[in-house]
Amino acid sequence: MWATRFVQVRGAAALVQETGKHPGELKDAVASPAGTTIEGIRRLESHGFRGTVIDAVVGAAERASALSRMGK
């Protein structure tokens, strides 16, 4: 199940990069107001998904920087 979620997040990130559009704009283009996609997004956001992703990216970047300084 986690592998599927990872692939979905990676695909969404690739779409943002490829189109140059803001993630919110893409969300609005695919999510019906009362549909399944927006319900999933609502639940992700209610559990702090956005902050968790940001924290993970920042943490990985900080660790990469530290490893780089150590010559690894």
Gap between the Cα atoms of 3 and 18, Å rounded:
22
State whether 26 and 36 are in the same domain.
Answer: no
pLDDT at 2: 73
pLDDT at 3: 82
Mean pLDDT of the residues in the chain: 91
pLDDT tens, residue by residue, 7-29: 888 998 999 999 999 999 999 99
Lowest mean pLDDT among 2-6, 40-44, 47-51, 60-64: 2-6
Give the mean pLDDT of 44-62. 93
State whether 38 and 72 are in the same domain.
Answer: yes
Structural domain boundaries enclosing 51: 32-72
Is the overall model pTM greater than 0.75, yes or no? no
Domains of the chain: total: 2
27 CB-side CA count, 13 A: 13
In 3D space, the residue among 17, 64, 27 whose CA is nearest the CA of residue 49 turns out to be 27
In 3D space, the residue among 32, 36, 14 whose CA is nearest the CA of residue 23 turns out to be 14
